[in-house]
Chain A
Amino acid sequence: MSTAPRLTALDALHRSLGATMTDFAGWDMPLRYASERDEHNAVRTKAGLFDLSHMGEITLTGPEAVKALDYALVGNISTVGVGRARYTHICQEDGGILDDLIVYRLGETEYMVVANASNAQVVLDALTERAAGFDTEVRDDRDAYALIAVQGPESPGILASLTDADLDGLKYYAGLPGTVAGVPALIARTGYTGEDGFELFVSPEHAVELWQALTKAGEGVGLVPAGLSCRDTLRLEAGMPLYGHELTTSLTPFDAGLGRVVKFEKEGDFVGRAALEAAAERAAGRAPRKLVGLIAEGRRVPRAGFSVVAGGKVIGEVTSGAPSPTLGKPIAMAYVDAEHAAPGTSGVGVDIRGTHEPYEVVALPFYKRQK
């Protein structure tokens, strides 16, 4: 294993834009270009352009690709039509979450799994092992793709000016092969910002060309390059979990309030089934802790790992926290004991470096876009 950070195909471009770079899961990625708050607001009101080439693509092909995925993952992949995508989890035998994934069905017998950068190797190894008994090939496509996302209300217009693909027919969580700015791309209507938007999977050699074409197309409508810092505040406002924060191997999807991704009704066994059935029963009986939103009354920002307190007792833990540009206040996601989890529960605070700051308990998400 080399310790030198991996560079995306857009690395030189980020540096020429003056990006502040950061190490993320072994990749050198743009954290922000100028003000992360401005980038966040641009995505909410106009559009932002992201390099997400650190995400891990794994392709499964062959007659039993879908059977392998149904066995390896908790979702019901056999119900995903060609050109559609599905959010799902891959779990351990004990039900713990290894990663959250998006699976795209690219063809009759071709699926692309997109894993988080930090888990790409783990997911690749697990899929390879779990698919061994099936007539399918698991291919590491991490180096085959650059990934560029354009997100925000102006993104459909920006993309429409560069492609003949039927974007109106492309529903949320759909993906189709097409051409954008003359570049062959898989065009997916997915994202991690809470806004309408697209993720474009292209060959790395075309990444710069595509980025520049999108930049030019978005010039008149306020498109800006956007880094990982605003990506985090955008997904937090949208109540979307981040692996390593809201999702870990010590939690099942039921603990994370995402039990709906587990499909017991699918045929045959899948990794984690027995443990997850027990977890579902526990969750139905008495949920131990619940994932809630917290909104600050003051101005200090809760961070991952801070204790949530009530009546002088620790009743939970913050998993993500940040100042919310949209709400204008600090917000957080936290796992709290069920008796303090109802929206509006009073007397809840966060221990911020020794001071108990008051917080309002709210249902997630903090922000929902007007459709």
Chain B
Amino acid sequence: MSNPQQLRYTKEHEWLSDAVDGVATVGITAFAADALGDVVYAQLPEVGDTVTEGETCGELESTKSVSDLYSPVSGEIVEFNQDVVDDPALVNSAPFEGGWLFKVKLSEEPKDALSFDEYTALTTGN
């Protein structure tokens, strides 16, 4: 579904797809999924919720810790991934594919999104 090089990213390790008909898909990166370890519980925003860029909108719980989920963009939730709620391990096995988290109808363009190269530099220190 997603080519990582064509996505935008946040410092909190979310990815954001290009909008299609004003709707963008959000997930967490493989780097983040790997750092979390096995994800066992996903609390995702509900359809109709308003999310704000840079603010928390859910949480991901792994064996060792709980991580807040930050929205990479402002807008309204139009869908969340029920498959991930049912089987959170999808976040580990396919973070850019079947492990996507939610879809947002954008109210504005993201202000702080990083390019693939910028995000790669952030996570590799290069």
A301→B34 contact, CB < 8 A:
no
Q: Is A299 an interface residue (CB 8 A)?
A: yes
Of residues 73 to 126 in B, which have CB atoms within 8 Å of A's CB atoms? 89, 92
Mark A322-338 against chain B: 1 for CB-CB distance below 8 A, else 0: 11000000100000000
B34→A299 contact, CB < 8 A:
no
Q: Residues of A contacting B63 with CB < 8 Å?
A: 36-37, 229, 233, 322-323
Residue of B nearest to A32 (CB): B37
Of residues 15 to 58 in B, which have CB atoms within 8 Å of A's CB atoms? 34, 37-38, 40-41
Known: A37-B63, A229-B63, A322-B63. A299 touches B38 (CB 8 A): no
Residue of A nearest to B43 (CB): A300
Q: How many residues on chain A are close to B (CB under 8 Å)?
A: 16
B38→A36 contact, CB < 8 A:
yes
Q: Is B61 an interface residue (CB 8 A)?
A: yes
Known: A233-B63, A322-B63. A35 touches B41 (CB 8 A): no
B99 to chain A, nearest CB (A): 14
A319 to chain B, nearest CB (A): 16
Of residues 17 to 76 in A, which have CB atoms within 8 Å of B's CB atoms? 20, 31-32, 35-37
Residue from A35, A229, A299 in contact with B64 in the complex, judged by beta carbons closer than 8 Å: A229
**C-alpha gap A303/B41 in the complex (Å):** 14
A323→B92 contact, CB < 8 A:
no
**C-alpha gap A326/B37 in the complex (Å):** 17
B37→A229 contact, CB < 8 A:
yes
Q: Residues of B contacting A353 with CB < 8 Å?
A: 66
Residue of A nearest to B35 (CB): A20
B91 to chain A, nearest CB (A): 12
B38→A300 contact, CB < 8 A:
no
Known: A36-B63, A323-B63. A299 touches B40 (CB 8 A): yes
B38→A37 contact, CB < 8 A:
yes
Q: How many residues on chain B are close to A (CB under 8 Å)?
A: 11
**C-alpha gap A330/B63 in the complex (Å):** 9
Residue from A20, A35, A229, A301 in contact with B61 in the complex, judged by beta carbons closer than 8 Å: A301
B38→A301 contact, CB < 8 A:
no
Q: Residues of A contacting B66 with CB < 8 Å?
A: 301, 303, 353
B37→A300 contact, CB < 8 A:
no
B40→A35 contact, CB < 8 A:
no
Q: Residues of A contacting B64 with CB < 8 Å?
A: 31, 229, 322
**C-alpha gap A37/B40 in the complex (Å):** 10
Q: Residues of A contacting B89 with CB < 8 Å?
A: 37
Known: A37-B63, A229-B63, A233-B63. A301 touches B40 (CB 8 A): yes
Q: Residues of A contacting B61 with CB < 8 Å?
A: 300-301, 323
B41→A299 contact, CB < 8 A:
yes
A35→B92 contact, CB < 8 A:
yes
**C-alpha gap A299/B89 in the complex (Å):** 13
Q: Residues of B contacting A299 with CB < 8 Å?
A: 40-41
Q: Residues of A contacting B38 with CB < 8 Å?
A: 35-37, 323
A366 to chain B, nearest CB (A): 15
Q: Residues of B contacting A301 with CB < 8 Å?
A: 40-41, 61, 66
A370 to chain B, nearest CB (A): 25
**C-alpha gap A20/B40 in the complex (Å):** 18
**C-alpha gap A32/B89 in the complex (Å):** 16
Residue of A nearest to B92 (CB): A35
13 CB contacts below 8 A, A to B, read: A32-B37, A35-B92, A36-B38, A229-B63, A233-B63, A299-B40, A301-B40, A301-B41, A301-B66, A303-B66, A322-B63, A323-B38, A323-B61
Known contacts A301-B40, A323-B41; 8 additional CB pairs below 8 A are: A20-B37, A31-B37, A36-B38, A36-B63, A37-B63, A322-B63, A322-B64, A353-B66
Which residues of A come within 8 Å of B, CB atoms?
20, 31-32, 35-37, 229, 233, 299-301, 303, 322-323, 330, 353
Which residues of B come within 8 Å of A, CB atoms?
34, 37-38, 40-41, 61, 63-64, 66, 89, 92
The 10 closest A-B pairs by CB, nearest first: A323-B40, A299-B41, A37-B38, A36-B63, A301-B61, A35-B38, A36-B38, A36-B37, A229-B63, A323-B63
